Each structure stands twice: as structure tokens, then as C-alpha cells.
Amino acid sequence: MAFQTSKVQARIEPNLKASAEAIFQALGITPTEAIRMFYKQVELQQGLPFLVKIPNDTTRAAIREAENVEALSSYGSVDEFLDEMSEN
């Protein structure tokens, strides 16, 4: 049983395209299959299949903090982490 198809075109930054297509290849799917999967999830979810929202000030601050790797804390164990969290 044959079915009709429709063409989808999009402009993507070359580095993003190459990076995503390398991931698709590692997953064993084509870009067309990935786009079809995305469209199917939009249809099933009746919207984007992931949360899209503008981060608030608290979230932006947390992102900036996480990007500063030198300022991040590290712990030798989960117990050490939990001890510090209970102190705060």
C-alpha cells in the first residue's frame, strides 16, 4: 500500500546539522526518520514533546553557576553530600 509524502525544508546551522546527523548515524536512523519521529511525537503529544519555556531569573542564575565548573562543589561520597545539605 503506497502512501503520499510531503516535503519539509529547513535551514539549520552547519555545525548543528553535522552534530545532530552524527548522533542520528550512531542511533542507526536517517535525518528523515528523525524528523518523522519528531512529527509523530508532536501529533501524539498534541504539542512539542518537550517543555519549552523562557527561564526565569533563578533558572538563569543556576545555569550560569553550573557553567562555572571551577565554582562547583564535589563530594567524596553521597553521605558527605547529604551531610552538607542537611547543614544548609
pLDDT in tens, 6-18: 999 999 999 999 9
pLDDT at 1: 67
Give CA separation, 56 vs 7, 41, 52, 53, 70, in Å. 37, 27, 12, 9, 24
**pTM to 2 decimal places:** 0.59
Q: CA 74 to CA 40: how far, in whole Å? A: 41
Q: CA 84 to CA 77: how far, in whole Å? A: 11
Give me the residue spans of the domains in the chain.
14-87
For domain 14-87, the CATH class is mainly alpha
